[in-house]
Amino acid sequence: MAKRTMAVLSAATLGAVLAGCGAGSTSPAGSGANHSSPSAMVVTWSSNPQTIDPRKIYDGEDWNIGRSLYVGLYDISAHGQLVPMVAKSAPDISDHGLVYTIHLNPKAVWSNGQPVTAQDFVYALRTELSSQFQSPDTYLWWMIKGASAYESGKSAALGIKALGAHTLQYTLSTPYSAFPYVLGVPASFPVYPGAISRVAADPVTDGPYVVAQWKTGQSMTLNQNSHYTLEPRTYPKHLQFDFNVNPSVGVLRVENGQADLVADGIPSANYQQLKANSQYAADITAGYQPAVILLALNERVKPFNNPLVRQAVEMAINKKHLVKLMNGRAQVANGVLPPSLPGFGSDIPNPYPFSPTKAKVLLKKAGYPHGFSTTLGLASEQTGGSQIETEVEADLKAIGIQVTAKPLPTEASAQAQMPMMTYSWYMDYPDPADFVSGFLTSPAIVGGSNPAFLNDPKLDQMEARASAMPLGAARTALYKQIDERAMKDAAYVPLFYPELTYFHSSRIHGFTYPAVYFPAIYSQLKISGN
């Protein structure tokens, strides 16, 4: 999924203060004495959930909250394996990879005691893809038979049906080997049709938790779902999310024992001091996120329609220095496929390595010997937003390009006019197809997920071939070639693969490094002494 993601440090700054813990004097983070409840895990987040309806869940902490309330057919393990949840076992694949039949686990029940049925999944998908519903997740389902005609309201036929209460069948329009992974993302979770009016605020759920209280813009409390049996009930009895908390204040709260986790990760300002404090060694969990942060250079707006200008921009940007600005908590990116993607990370060479002098020559060749002025659209809550803004403005100024940063407008038509913008892609499921078909070869249309309007028919053909190939080395190699070819175009300038560093109280255990976007699966955590 793209854009709106974790706010590690947004350009427009939120709330308050600061870090700084007198090293030595402090006890391990949140030793527990101050916690209001020993059985509640408190999570701070700088933002607010957009929705808790799984059919609309798109990004941010929404994913983790969604996974706390619901489970789908499968989970994706830390190693990228499919783990059956509501499904009894792996799907039966027939008809040359076009038909997926899945048997449901009769033990899966809703929080009101009713069994989870195949009809619930059918209902969820048919409503999610309907034109009135306006889900941002429809792009995930492009391979379902009849999806596009159904979405535009031209046809009622859709490739999903229930064969009895506990058998579900998906039909695809084209073979797509990564399809079972799609059945692990929140957008594939079922909803309970019998209480659909409650789905937005107080839903009947089939996951580890139910909503106990939600004060919009302030906090949300979840209680264990007593009907849930798909995972051992060793996870915290209650989850409490505090919203609109500046991440730096969140860190202080964890240090003072008033919170257990900062969902945003550790801000740069606090990182050094936490890292230097040996007491916290066990309370910091880090890993590369399966994500890539990029600059999108709009091929439809002058002067970025000129490939030489795009190449000059990539050559001018000092990605290494940018990574240093992020306290080294990122890895320089040369392609879109992140190295943490299990088995797929493509370590391709940068076709336009850093060289301001060569960049100037290219600009001259392109007809801009004195540079030009342009605008950089900053996605809201962009990971590393202020660092990217500062670095790009300074680097491009050095080759004569004057950059003015502006918040990225929310309207698609206005975005299409934006010459240059930050863009990020967070993995939905551990397969390169998610990145490639998700934005690189996504149709170059206004309102699509390809904001640079990269349009290369050869690339599309390669992608069509790769996505149908069986999972394995040959497919991996082809995706690497796709990445390499796309990068030569320089419509997307990959900047870095971000690292997510969590700071949590020492009483919380069980963090595993996530293979997918879920940074924290709360039902896999434990509170010690509880």
Partner 1 sequence: MSAVANLQQPLERPRRNVSRRRAYTTLIVSGSIVFVIVAVAVLAPVLAPHNPDRLFPNGLSAAGNPLGPSRAFPLGTDQFGRDELSRLLWGGRPALLISVIASVFSSAVGILLGVAAGYLGGWVDTLISRFVNILMSFPLTLFAVAIVLIVSPSLINLIIIIAAIYWTYTARLVRAEVLTLREQDFVSAAHALGATPWRLMIRHLMPNVLDTVIVRGVLTMAQVFLLEAGLSYLGVGVQPPTPDWGLMIAQSQNYYGADPGLVLYPGIAIAVTVIAVTQLGQSYRALRRRA
Partner 2 sequence: MLRHVARRLLWSLFDLLVIVTIAFLLTYLLPGDPARTIAGPHASVADVARIRRQLGLDAPLYVQYGHYLWNLVHFNLGTSIEFGTPVLGDILAKFPATAILAVSGVVWELILGLPLGILSAVRQGGLLDRVSSVLSMAAIALPQFWVGIILLFVLAFKLHWFPLGGTGSPVLWYGFLPGLTLGIGGAAYYQQLVRSRVLEVLPQQYIATARAKGLSEWAVLVRHVMPQVMTTLITQIGMDLGYFMAGVVVVETVFGWPGIGLQAWAAIKALDVPLVIGTVLFGAFWIVLANFVVDSIYGLIDPRIRLR
Residue ranges binding partner 1 (CB under 8 A): 9, 11-13, 16-21, 246, 248, 267-270, 272-273, 275, 321, 324-328, 386-387, 389-391, 393-394, 397, 404-406
> How many Å apart are CA 423 and CA 428, to the nearest integer?
15
Of 390 and 455, CB closest to partner 1: 390
Indicate which single residue of 205, 415, 442, 476 sits in contact with partner 2 (rule: CB under 8 A).
415
**By CB under 8 A, residue 114 contacts partner 2:** no
Q: CB under 5 to 8 A by kind: which of partner 2, partner 1, none does 415 bind?
A: partner 2
DSSP single-letter state for residue 172: B
Q: Which lies closer to partner 2 via its Cβ, residue 10 or residue 285?
A: 10
Task: Note whether 20 binds partner 2 by CB under 8 A.
Answer: yes
Q: How far apart are CA 272 and CA 280, in angstroms?
A: 12
Would you mind telling me the total number of residues written for the chain in this entry?
530
Report if residue 256 touches partner 2, rule: CB under 8 A: yes
Residue 460's φ and ψ, nearest 5 degrees, are: -60, -40
Contact 143, 98 (CB under 8 A): no
Neighbours of 51 (CB within 10 A): 16
| DSSP structure class, residue 2 | B
Q: Is 26 in the site for partner 2 (CB under 8 A)?
A: no
Report the partner that residue 412 touches, choosing among partner 1, partner 2, none (CB closer than 5 to 8 A by kind): partner 2
Question: Per-residue string for binding with partner 2, 220-249, x by CB under 8 A?
Answer: ----------------------x-xxx--x
CA 239: distance to chain centroid?
A: 22
Compute the Cα dihedral for 263, 268, 269, 275 and give only its sign: positive
Nearer of residues 10 and 387 to partner 2, judged by Cβ: 10
Closest by CA position to 520, among listed 496, 504, 507: 504
Going by C-alpha positions, the residue among 149, 180, 186 that lies closest to residue 70 is 186
d(CA 6, CA 198): 27
Binding of partner 2 at residue 258 (CB under 8 A)?
Answer: yes
Closer to partner 1 by CB, 267 or 371: give it.
267
Q: Which two tokens stand for residue 380?
A: 């809201």
Instruction: Give CA–CA dist 258/30, Å, rounded.
Output: 7
Question: Per rule CB under 8 A, is residue 136 in the interface with partner 2?
Answer: yes
Contacts of 313 (CB under 8 A, 6+ apart): 295, 297, 304, 359, 396, 401, 420, 490, 493
Sole binder of partner 2 in the list 55, 67, 253, 504 (CB under 8 A)? 253
| CB of 15 or CB of 194, closer to partner 2 | 15
Using the contact rule CB under 8 A, the part of the chain among 154-162, 175-183, 251-259, 271-279 near partner 2 is: 251-259
Shortest spacing between CB 248 and partner 1, in angstroms = 4
DSSP H/E element including 296:
strand 291-297
Distance CA 277, CA 261 (A): 17
Selection from partner 2, partner 1, none that 258 binds (CB < 5 to 8 A by kind) is partner 2
Stretch that binds partner 2, among 78-86, 163-171, 322-330, 405-413 (CB under 8 A): 405-413
**What pairing do the DSSP bridges indicate for beta strands 508-509 and 492-503?**
unpaired
| CA pair distance 8, 20, nearest whole angstrom | 18
Q: Which of 5, 64, 68, 138 binds partner 2 (CB under 8 A)?
A: 138
Q: Is 529 in the site for partner 2 (CB under 8 A)?
A: no
Quick check: 286 and 500 in contact, CB under 8 A?
A: yes
> Taking CB under 8 A as the rule, does residue 81 contact partner 2?
no
Rule CB under 8 A: choose which of 112, 216, 272, 278 binds partner 2.
216
Q: Of the candidates 86, 252, 433, 459, which one interacts with partner 2 according to CB under 8 A?
A: 252
If one asks whether residue 140 binds partner 2 (CB under 8 A), the answer comes out as no
Binding mask 146-185 for partner 2 (x = CB under 8 A): ------x---------------------------------
Contact positions with partner 2 (CB under 8 A) in 445-504: 447
Q: Which residues of 250-280 are buried (b: 16+ CB within 10 A; e: fewer)?
A: bbbbbbebbbbbbbbbbbbbbbebbbebebb
Closer CB to partner 1, 397 or 488, in the complex = 397
Nearer to partner 1, 206 or 381 (CB): 381
What angle (nearest 5°) sits at the alpha carbon of residue 186, between those of residues 184 and 190? 90
For residues 240 and 222, give the distance between their C-alpha atoms in angstroms, rounded to a whole number: 6
CB nearer to partner 2: pick between 110 and 271: 271
Residue 7: CB minimum distance to partner 1, A: 12
17 binds partner 2 (CB under 8 A): yes
Bridge partner residues of 43 (DSSP) = 241, 261
Smallest separation, CB 54 to partner 1 (Å): 32
**DSSP calls for 394-440:** HHHHHTTEEEEEEEPPSSHHHHTT-SEEEEEEE-SSSSHHHHIIIII
The answer to whether residues 114 and 205 touch, using CB atoms and an 8 Å cutoff, is no
Instruction: Identify what 197 binds: partner 2, partner 1, none; CB under 5 to 8 Å per kind.
Output: none
Contact set with partner 2 (CB under 8 A):
10, 12, 14-18, 20, 48, 50, 131, 134, 136, 138, 152, 215-219, 242, 244-246, 249, 252-253, 255-256, 258, 380-381, 407, 409-413, 415, 447
